[in-house]
Amino acid sequence: MAEQRLFDNLTLPASFDAHVHLRQSHLMRAVTPTITSGGVDTVYVMPNLMPPIDTVEAALNYKAQLQAICPDVTFLMTLYLCDKITPEVVRDAKARGGVVGVKSYPAGVTTNSAAGVVDYAPFYPVFAEMERQGLVLNLHGEVPSDRSNDVNVLNAEEKFLPTLALLSERFPNLKIVLEHCTTRKAVEAVMEAGENVRGTITAHHLWLVVDDWAGDGLHFCKPVAKTEGDKRALVKATVEGKGNFFLGTDSAPHLLGKKKGVGLDKCSAGVFTQPYATQVVLEAWEEGVRTGLVEKEELAEEVIEGFLGKWGRDFYGIEESKKKFRLKAGQERVAESLAVEAEGDVIVPFRRGEQTYSIEWV
Ligand code: NCD
Ligand code: ZN
């Protein structure tokens, strides 16, 4: 537990979480109501469902389902980049509203990504139309593992960075987000890229390193957490990144059985942070101050509110929220689990059992 309680009684505007997985059916009904307990009122919802969200119709149906569960949350939708996404679909998405971007998953790198991208060039006409229409391109920035070329989960992000540079130069007015940056090199690449590029940083990557997930499925996610040096670079980027990075938790709930790998199955990738999205970031900053990585003075109101909401909202062109919450450093602890009764299983939140801030909407 961090010793310093820097944010007790602080009132903040609602956070914007620019990368969430809310799933379908029973999981969706269990997870979606936890958005607000994490201090968030606006979320950008990932499309890697079964089947993937690859039509505007499907995205708007999904949005309606989520909205019915949480009428007070704003759900921004995205499409799954695949050969069904054409320039015409992009124009239709823009015209109908609700869909603000397109998410690219390289084929095979993560949960439900089998239908993902192998080669970016065939999508250039789609990117050009997105550039004209102002839709955001969200990149899962990893190349697929390839033993013959020594590509693996530890260097897959770094090897993707030339593609980021290439796309941002070829489409200088296309808004591009490098999702869930996990390395110092990714931070540098975003800083060096054009004005059209931003990076999201998750809450859990401000805490985790390789050793945390080796042997512990609950901490296994894609991209995997890297070294202590990388983790520090991420924490630094949240406060020193000059608005180039904002929160996208990549909260990715899986049933505990799937995280532990049922029978001989492999364990599913994803860390669940949704119910404490804002708190996990604030507590990482406190830890940064405690360990000397971050100066207290760096955590100015502009930075806290910027990373947690304003910088992301500005990039996506969404209005600032009028909702606010107050933080209380009391006795609350992160829940041990979230029940999904219809599945007879639970989802385990990140930092289970740890002391955490309480959030009161004001
Ligand atoms: C995500 C999921 O479970 O949907 N998993 C993860 O580890 N982040 C997929 C993704 O965003 O890569
Ligand atoms: Zn994700």
Q: What is the mean pLDDT of each run of 10 residues along the chain (362 residues)?
A: 80 98 98 98 98 98 98 98 97 98 91 84 97 98 95 97 97 98 98 97 98 96 98 98 97 96 86 98 98 97 98 97 96 97 98 98 98
**Ion ligand 2: residues, Cβ under 5 Å:** 250
Q: Which ligand is nearest to the CA of 270?
A: 1
Query: Which pLDDT does position 4 carry in this prediction?
Result: 63
Distances (CA, A) of 33 to 27, 61, 203, 341: 11, 18, 19, 15
* pLDDT value of position 3: 59
Number of neighbours of residue 319 by Cβ within 10 angstroms: 8
Strand order in the sheet with 245-247: 15-20, 40-45, 74-80, 99-104, 136-139, 175-178, 197-201, 245-247
Q: Cα 142 to chain center, whole Å?
A: 15
**Which ligand 1 atom lies nearest to the CA of residue 105?**
12
Q: How far apart are CA 11 and CA 187, in angstroms?
A: 29
| Residue 64 phi, psi (nearest 5) | -65, -40
The pLDDT value recorded for residue 109 is 81
According to the model, what pLDDT value does residue 323 have?
98
pLDDT score at 115: 81
Distance CA 334, CA 332 (A): 7
Task: Say what the pLDDT of residue 123 is.
Answer: 97
Of the candidates 64, 7, 24, 17, the residue with the CA atom closest to the CA atom of residue 356: 7
Task: Assess contact for 137 and 104: CB atoms under 8 A.
Answer: yes
How far apart CA 288 and CA 200 sit, in angstroms, is 19
Q: Which of 48, 145, 182, 254 to mutate to test the pocket of ligand 1 (most atoms within 8 A of CB)?
A: 48
Give dist(CA 268, CA 184) in Å, integer.
Answer: 25
Residue 216's SS3 state is coil
Q: Residue 2: its pLDDT value, please?
A: 45
Q: How much is the pLDDT for 188? A: 98
Query: Residue 63's pLDDT is what?
Result: 98
pTM value is: 0.97
Provide the pLDDT for residue 278: 98
Q: Which ligand is nearest to the CA of 113?
A: 1
